[in-house]
Amino acid sequence: MTRADGIAYKSLNIYFSSWFSLGMSVYTLNEWSASKDIISFEELTRLSATLKSWYALCLSSLITMGSAAQIHGLLDYQSRADASFAVACGAVSWVIAMCAVLMHYKILRCCNITAGGMVELTTALLLCLWLMIGVATITKDGGVAATITGTPDCDVEDGRVPGSNLFLSSWGAFLSSLSITVRWKAAQA
């Protein structure tokens, strides 16, 4: 429903209710698993104050990458460059976030990212810069993610852009990277 130029962009009630339904399903599953003493999101993320934000960055970057890749084929040549950049923003931040999550669990040991360490802070600051440039580029006026709904009557020849998840997911990724930076001091303690 929320794919680029899908039915959810004809009525934003469908868009927000579908995402809300997904969120409530995940919340209900988490609450149920916690009540049955099965692993919950709180148990997964209690290792570090920044781990929840790394998960949020991972998810929002994955949505950014997927949405930008899906919209890429619907755009004219000039807009495809912005869509390609959005794919790159999502891919780079997803890979880094996934590595950070795996390093927190000590599954991946190629770098020494520890909770509250200087490598984590430097990585988060570089991601903030990278995603700030990404958000500024793809959400600019006339950009591929200027709005949630896109431009009316999407037509490739007129350079119009269909609605997609890019606007919210790119902002979500940027805000997640800011959250990692802000929570870094708490993770250090």
Distance CA 176, CA 137 (A): 18
Q: What is the DSSP letter of 7?
A: G
User: Would you state the pLDDT for residue 152?
Assistant: 59
Q: How is residue 117 written in tokens?
A: 């360490």
Is the model more confident about 60 or about 82? Answer: 60
pTM over 0.75: yes
What's phi and psi for 150, nearest 5 deg? 75, -170
Token look-up 């709904």 returns 149
Three-class DSSP category at 150: strand
**What is the average pLDDT across 107-133?**
81
User: Would you state the pLDDT for residue 97?
Assistant: 93
Residue 44's pLDDT band (cuts 50, 70, 90): confident
Burial of 85: CB neighbours in 10 Å, binned 0-12, 13-18, 19+: middle
Q: Which residue, among 123, 142, 134, has the nearest Cα to 172 in the 3D structure?
A: 134
* 146 pLDDT above the threshold of 90: no
**What is the average pLDDT across 132-143?**
89
Q: How is residue 138 written in tokens?
A: 């793809």
Q: Is 79 within 8 Å of 144 (Cβ atoms)?
A: yes
* Whole-Å CA distances, 63 to 5, 116, 171, 179, 187: 15, 27, 11, 18, 26
Report percent pLDDT > 90 for the chain.
35
Residue type, 61: S
User: Would you state the pLDDT for residue 156?
Assistant: 47
Q: What is the DSSP letter of 162?
A: B
71: Cα separation from own chain's centroid: 16
User: Would you state the pLDDT for residue 90?
Assistant: 94
Q: What is the mean pLDDT of the chain?
A: 84
User: Would you state the pLDDT for residue 91?
Assistant: 95
